Structure 1
Amino acid sequence: MANYTPMMQQYLKIKSQQKDAFLFFRLGDFYEMFFEDALTASKELEITLTSRDGGADERIPMCGVPYHSAENYIKQLVEKGYKVAICEQVEDPKQAKGVVKREVVQMITPGTVMEGSMLDEKENNYIASLSKFEDGTYTVSYNDLTTGENSVALVADGFDAAIGELYSRPVKEVVVSSDFPAEQQEMLKERLGYTVSYQDETTIEEAFVDLVADVHQDKLKIGFGRLLQYIQQTQKRTLDHLQPVKVIELKQYMTLDMYSKRNLELLETLRKGGKSGSLLSIVDQTITSMGARMLKKWMERPLLSKNAIDTRHSQVEGFLHQFLERETLREQLTSVYDLERLAGRVAYGNVNARDLIQLRNSLRKIPEILETLREFTHPSIEELYHSIDPLHELKELLEASIADDPPMTIKEGGLIRDGFHDQLDEYRDASKNGKQWIAELEQKERKATGIKSLKVGYNRVFGYYIEVTKANLRLLPEGMYERKQTLTNAERFITPELKEKESIILEAQEKSVDLEYELFLEVRDQVKTYVQKLQYLADQISRIDVLQGFAQTAETNSYVRPTYKEDTRTVDIKQGRHPVVEKVLKGDTFVPNDIYMNDETDVLLITGPNMSGKSTYMRQLALTAILGQMGSFVPCDSANLPIFDQIFTRIGAADDLVSGQSTFMVEMLEANHALAHATENSMILLDEIGRGTSTYDGMALAQAIVEHIHEHIRAKTLFSTHYHELTSLEGELERLKNVHVRAEEYEGNVVFLHQIKEGPADESYGIHVAKLADLPKPLITRATELLDQLEGAYSSAEAAASAEEEQLSLFIEEESPKARKAERSASQFEQHIQNLNLLEMTPMDAMNELYQLQKKMKS
């Protein structure tokens, strides 16, 4: 290092402590990057790569971005998953002895972004930590630095369950220990796309002990401590806005695993990956950005408490039945800014005067909102009214202190309102009067010299001056002014009187700006004392926003309030609809259907052709359950529902390209996950299980899974299949019922009626569907011929099998030696099965054992 220049030595020393981040090294008006940082940043940011002499007989790669526009470049890097360390000059260059001292003042990472331009206003920006313990349990901790929200959950079911919990929130970055299992780190990075960071220290310092006052388990404290240490070390400032840690009791919420959230397209669609076409896009009628974020939280964690569900439904009902008042409320909410993030910016120390104007304007609306809430007659709305503190004192402080149209920066003046501070008013008066004197001087000198173009101007280098064009210099009496500066086309002069006034004006302006900055910091510190009250107010306004949004959705889409009974597992939905499909149909009317499953029906086996609506029927039950338990009304004529503790889905086919798993393997893994975790209070949706293997393999697996659910889990299950042979299970499994999607053949074409009827389907109509897809006519004709041949061959084989069965029966009756040997084999087979104790195995292990036994018996 000694071969490098002192400044480059300083850079290398700081960079050695920030190896996993781009180091934005402040040099004058630029942030510079060197070596590998420069090579990578020039490509990622598409900026010019240059070089400089570093003093080690080599040209060092170098690139830079302007200080004043750095935010946009930082945003680009962070959005790509990189981290940026901001290194500033921390001493006055005029007083520095040698190289100016520099330090990293902040680390910006995907999970610790605070700048508004880098954030989605309707989505939280979570950073999480994942901690593993020797007994196989995990803790998952969350923080949203923009709002101060903190929470932690204990996950007892291993890494897959921890990943499922992590997937429940929009997490941008995950913090783990340096010895976290490598294969699990790889999954976090490659499969799930998280930025992974490292932190081994988990001690919670005394200043933050109050945050974990309600956390009583050591594991949870360790998990949150890891996250808190990382935030402290990267942000390097006070974190007064951090809220007390909430312990997430997972048993209080419906469990929606990663597969189900994806398959049901709750927050985004599978194909497009955006909000459009998701459940969220239909029910999001929120007005404020903080309300939109709360809606997502409710959707990710539907409730299990009947009382809590009923409370939300009563509040929605209260808003629903008073249209005019609700419309007034919606209009008032449009003027409420993001109180949650404004409070965070105040505490974080990066709030400006315009932020405080937004806060003031929001607080001005709270009394109006309270007046509107008073006009609602439902008792549940009255409770919301009494929960709101309008924070009058804070509003009055902001009204009195902050100017109506302040600048973006806080060091240029113009922040503080006239009349707020006497000394500031005096400075302003002196400056104002001085400027008035300058204007009068200009008129006076024009009159005295007869030069109409004479002007009195100002610049930062020379101060105030009198400017006369060279063409008019002849009109000036000799010695009238003191020459100050010569320009190409003019001369600039000063007078003793002008310099005296300049001193008064500039001193007043300088003192005024300095005092304004001090006063602004004082106001900000006073606002800081209201942060917790602001956070609570933001929570209440968000809740009101979500609930009125549910009412708006219910009225617009004709949703109804569902009812729940805790002592029954009956599902009774009349004229149920899919909330998304009914809105996106173009020119068609959605066909509603009933769903009825009482205590005597656990499994609906659904048959019918492709495109007929089987998957829609299945999904609409799950979405109805989720909507109801998150507090929304539901799309149907009436709904009596049980409270589901979990929903598991296997709908649609998709290879997992990242892990190299085929569609069939993904299907088996998702099915196994449901079978391993579902209870009798769960819902399972399985669509076309067994398609990814041979017909008999697939049919055997499908039947075994249905039987296992029926006999050992008893969850409410919708199972769609093309294996018509499975419909015979209705005669064998007492709580299984056949239903089908009705379709009719008309003049050689199939007509999908999208109606669910009792009993099995009589055909699959596969060739008809191919015809609808406009496959070539010769191909359709040939397929029809082949189908006739295959069906004929199947009928012949069926007859032959019947005759063979009759002969076998006679053969056994004669008790031939072969028959007795067959009986012994069957007895051995039965004994082997008993020895295997299949019911103690997972479904996948049991099927594998049976396959091995089958091969053994054949040999």
Structure 2
Amino acid sequence: MNKNSKSCHKKKEVTPLIKQYNNIKNKYPNTILLFQVGDFYEIFGKDAVKCSKILNIVLTKRSSLHLAGFPCHSLNNYLPKLIQSGLRVAICDQLEESKIGNKNLVKRGVTELITPGIAINENILTPQSNNFLASIYIEKEKLGLSFLDISTGEFLITEDKKNNILQYLNLFNPSEVIFQKKDKKFFDQFFKKKYYTFIVEDWMFNYEFAYEKLISHFQTNSLKGFGIDNLKLGIISSGVILSYLHNTQHLNIKHISSIRKIKKEDHMWIDDFTFKNLEIFHSINKEGVPLINILDQTITPMGGRLLKNWVLFPLINVFHIKKRHEIVQELYSKNIIRNFIKKKLKNIYDIERIISKMVVGKITPREVYSLHKSLFSIMEIKKKLSSQNEKIFLSLSNSFQDCDTIYKIIANTIQDNPPHQIEKGKGNVIMEGVSKELDEIRILYFSQKEYLEKLCKTQQLNTGINNLKIGYNNIFGYFFEVRKSKNNKVPSYWIPKQTLSNSVRYITQELKNYESKILSAELRMFSLEKEIFNKLVNKILENLKKLQKNAKNIAKLDVLCSFSNIALENNYTKPKIDHSLKICIVNGRHPVIEKQFISKTSYIPNDIILNKSKQQILIITGPNMSGKSAVLRQTAIIILMAHIGSFVPAQKANIGVIEKIFSRVGASDNISLGESTFMVEMNETANILNNISDRSFLILDEIGRGTSTYDGISIAKSIVEFLHENNSRPLTLFATHYHELNEMNNSFKRIKNFHFPVKKIDENIVFIRKLITGGSENSFGIHIAKISGMPKKIINRAKEILKTFKIKKNHI
């Protein structure tokens, strides 16, 4: 009996509501389920415990079940915190109104599933960065790889060697990576800690299924028009992305209107070591400044995202590079038009993400109004460009699509500065004159005060109750309030509803009829505004491709304006790019380091000349802090900047197209994988030597220093000899403390020695920081140790030891 009674008791504890919750929750494992109960989203069990800590909300307990929650209207405040914590969140809404007296359970269902890779909420996204979802399909030693940003519609596809997978992930930095079950061990080993991952069932990785998914989405007969028809593995990964979107309730995705192949052959290849070493996006030091901070003076979020894309994928097509340079030159020299464009860009919002929110049905009236303001500014930019005589500006003007019709439709439909939500705007979204019915309902709804005042005066006259009042509460609506001393004058047909200490409240049929009329008017007003608003959005989306093209053109103009600004501010010059196999940089400067000097003339510039015939490899020596690393990095950065279309920090720069930049700079242990500094150094160097081409540029700093001196010298000499004798003849800057390498220019005709001299004044040294021909014979290591604050006793002992080494060397 006891067992049965306990069993019955447990069953009673599972209420119909919790049963419904469990049924839905079971369909979405490893997902936080936000379960709407009236005006709140409730969270139960272990999810409640987890969310209470992340969201800092109250955790309670009902029977043995943990419970947490927050108001529905606060969703946009709490949702980003959950997603940014790496959680998947399912929004479970009530699908019908809860009716008073109805004991049946309200129908509920998941209306949206949000994961880190498919978020469109602006509170989750970073405006100037893409939010990529990556899909990876591995087959033997090859992989298919796709990247999709659902918030902008950008869809990319490629195929490559399996060992390049990390390179792509580092470039695109996806918020989420999906892959098939069979590769779980591989991903757990290499990526789980760095990337949020999600396993997709193996059966979804099917070529026929994926191909059909793609042509169905793009409404084409084949994928040849996108140039990806031969990418079998890439097509599988792309098809899985679309299936994943459908499975997460993202069904309206027509803004994903194209798919683009990542063409390695069209862009300069820069490995992730080089991006890190050159400090392009992130500084190695906490207080340091990355290059992107200098380059980025973009105004729009779209421009910021495009700039990063250009830096990740520099051009190698001379014609296209020159075209960018020409536009920057015109903007550079035309102050009036550049300043006009900058001013108008400030009024342009994130059109790409506004479009995406329209498509998925998450757009607000305020965002549509932002689109209206953006289109007006684009129209003004287009008009200004077309008024110029220069062909470049006329071409830019013609690239913009005519969106006057869309602008006018919005202007004639939406009120200025409308509320974010129709329901909260009290009918203040759609303009007067758009709908006759809506106008009439508004008159009724907004004339409540006048009507009630008139009714009150009429009843005062009819009853003789001169202090009669009309009030309202949520319990029984409108009422007449009468002082108890006047109760004898109340008509018999008035119905008493509430007795207070000094008064009585009554209702009448007339008041109930009016109340019903007002509530009906309110509902109809909101319904009409929604209907008109939705029609407007659909009308705008008929011009989807026009809007997307204008967004891209604005982003491009924004980046080129940014380049012209930084060129003016920092005295950059227009580089000359050609098909030669040489580099000539006169008075080159490091764009980040020079900004640290108060005076613009304080930074000492340097020349770098490289060619395949006489000066292929420069051996650069000099003490620490003399400028070796700076000149290596600044040369690579100048080359990169020139290839993305920017002017460069130099007096003059003639640069033959470079297809690959490689660097081996600095030292870093990879202890977690059991790799020492020297092993990391050799791995990175091997990667460079195995991938060089005739249009490669290399910067190598202190190769071989991670092992014993003689081993290091031997390795360094061997590498330099290999680069000299290799058929590709890559242009190379090789910085070293091994002065023995200076001898190589006697045996190898394309190796030249350069060094950074220092002046020794008494016991002190002065850095000249000017690169000159010839090799140096002293690293001044002890002097550097001295000025760093090393104890004097250690410095003196080091000098004694150095003398003994020199004596031994002379005896050998």
TM-score by shorter chain over 0.5: yes
Q: Paired residue for 2:24?
A: 14
Partner of 2:94: 89
Supply the AA of the counterpart residue of 2:146.
Answer: S
1:319 pairs with one of 297, 306, 331: 331
Residue type matched to 1:137 in 2? K
- Flag the 1:496–1:47 CA change in 2: closer, same or farther, 3 A: closer
Match of 2:730 in 1: 715
Structure 1 residues 139 and 488: alpha-carbon distance in aligned structure 2, compared to 1, 3 A threshold: farther
Deviations 1:161-212 (A, max 9, x none): 122122212311111111126234431212x334344253142436314374
What is the CA distance between 1:65 and its match in structure 2? 3.2
Please give the residue correspondences for 1:146-545 in structure 2 after superposition, counting only pairs within 5 Å: 146-155=151-160, 158-180=161-183, 182-190=185-193, 192-200=194-202, 201-202=204-205, 203=209, 204-205=212-213, 207-210=216-219, 212=223, 213-214=225-226, 215-217=228-230, 218-272=232-286, 277-412=289-424, 413-442=427-456, 455-467=469-481, 473-474=484-485, 478-479=489-490, 482-487=495-500, 490-545=503-558
Q: 2:3 aligns to what?
A: none
2:113 counterpart residue number: 107
Deviates further, 348-357 or 646-655: 646-655
Give % identity.
35
CA distance change for structure 1 residues 621 and 5 in 2, over 3 Å: closer, same or farther?
same
Matches within 5 A, 1:426-825: 426-442=440-456, 455-467=469-481, 473-474=484-485, 478-479=489-490, 482-487=495-500, 490-566=503-579, 568-586=580-598, 589-599=602-612, 600-712=614-726, 713-795=728-810, 799=811, 801=812
Does structure 2 retain, via aligned residues, the 8 Å contact 1:42–1:48? yes
The amino acid across from 1:71 in the alignment is N
Q: For the residues of structure 2 that align with 1:147 and 1:271, how far apart are their CA atoms? A: 32
Provide the residue aligned with 1:830 in structure 2: none
CA distance in 2, matches of 1:311, 1:184: 42
| 8 Å contact kept, 1:50–1:61 | yes
Are the structure 2 counterparts of residues 514 and 621 from structure 1 closer, same or farther at C-alpha, using a change threshold of 3 Å?
Answer: same
Q: Secondary structure at the match of 2:112?
A: strand
Q: CA deviation at 1:591?
A: 0.5
How far the C-alpha of 1:496 sits from its partner, in A, is 4.8
Q: CA deviation at 1:67?
A: 2.4
1:189/1:196 contact within 8 Å kept? no
How many angstroms apart in 2 are the aligned matches of 1:194 and 1:44? 17
Deviations 1:676-724 (A, max 9, x none): 1111211111111122211112222212221222212421111111111
**Kindly tell me: are residues 197 and 113 of structure 1, through their superposed partners in 2, closer, same or farther at Cα, counting changes over 3 Å?**
farther
SS at match of 2:523: helix
> How much has 1:385 moved relative to structure 2?
0.5
Q: CA deviation at 1:489?
A: 6.2
Distance 1:477 1:101, change over 3 A: closer
2:72 corresponds to which residue?
67
How big is each residue's C-alpha offset from its partner over 1:754-793, in whole Å with a ceiling of 9 and x where there is no partner?
1111111121111111122122222222222322233233
Amino acid at match of 1:114: I
Call closer, same or farther: CA 1:66–1:546 in 2, change over 3 Å. Answer: same
- Alpha-carbon offset, residue 476 of structure 1: 6.4
Q: 1:27 and 1:753, CA in 2 relative to 1: closer, same or farther beyond 3 A? A: same
Comparing 707-716 with 631-640, which one deviates more in the overlay?
707-716
Instruction: Tell me the residue number matched to 2:145.
Output: 140
Deviation at 1:565, TM superposition (A): 2.2
Q: 2:45 aligns with which of 35, 49, 52?
A: 35
Say if 2:153 and 2:257, in contact at 8 Å, map to a contact too: yes
Q: What amino acid maps onto 1:89 in structure 2? A: Q
Given that 1:435 and 1:505 are in contact with CA atoms closer than 8 Å, whether structure 2 keeps it comes out as: no
* Contact preservation (8 Å) 2:250, 2:360: no
Q: What one-letter code is carried by the residue in structure 1 that aligns with 2:754?
A: V
Cα distance, 1:453 vs structure 2: 7.6
Counterpart contact for 1:347–1:531, Cα < 8 Å: no
Cα RMSD of the aligned pairs, angstroms, is 2.5
Q: Secondary structure at the match of 1:180?
A: helix
Query: Does the Cα contact within 8 Å between 2:184 and 2:199 map onto a contact in 1?
Result: no
Deviations 1:323-379 (A, max 9, x none): 111111101110111111111111111001111110111112222112221344432
The SS at the match of 1:168 is helix
Displacement of 1:487 in angstroms is: 4.2
Aligned to 1:812: none
Q: TM-score, normalised by structure 2?
A: 0.91
CA distance, structure 1, for counterparts of residue 684 and residue 196 of structure 2: 22
The answer as to whether partners of 1:210 and 1:244 remain within 8 angstroms in 2 is no
- AA aligned to 2:730 is A
Shift of the 711–455 alpha-carbon distance from structure 1 to 2, 3 Å rule, reads farther
Aligned length: 782
CA separation of 1:67 and 1:507: change in aligned 2, threshold 3 A: closer
Query: How far off its partner does 1:594 sit?
Result: 0.5
Counterpart CA distance in 2 for 1:390 and 1:30 is: 45
Q: SS at 2:181's partner residue?
A: coil
Q: In structure 1, what is the Cα distance between the partners aligned to 2:382 and 2:738? A: 60
Q: Is the 8 A contact 1:289 1:338 kept in 2?
A: yes
Q: Secondary structure at the match of 1:154?
A: strand
Q: 5+ unaligned residues in a row in structure 2: which ranges?
A: 1-6
SS in 1 for 2:66: strand
Q: 1:634 & 1:450 partners in 2: Cα distance?
A: 89
Query: Conserved in 1, the CA contact under 8 Å of 2:136 and 2:178?
Result: yes
| 2:419 match: secondary structure | coil
Is the contact between residue 123 and residue 170 of structure 1 (CA under 8 Å) also seen in structure 2? no
Q: Give the drift of 1:449.
A: 9.0
Q: Distance in 2 between matches of 1:517 and 1:430?
A: 19
Further displaced range: 772-781 or 571-580? 772-781
Contact 1:199 1:229 in 2 (8 A): no
* Structure 1, 194-203 or 119-128: larger mean CA deviation: 194-203
**Whole-angstrom CA distance in 1 between matches of 2:597 and 2:176:** 38
What's the CA shift for 1:10?
3.3
Return the alpha-carbon distance in structure 1 between the equivalents of residues 359 and 582 of structure 2: 50
SS of equivalent to 2:248? helix
Contact 1:257 1:648 in 2 (8 A): yes
Q: Distance in 2 between matches of 1:489 and 1:151?
A: 74
1:93 to 1:659, Cα distance in 2 relative to 1, 3 A? farther
Which AA in structure 1 matches 2:168?
A: E
Secondary structure at the aligned position of 1:438 is classed as helix
Which one-letter code corresponds to 1:269 in the other structure?
A: S
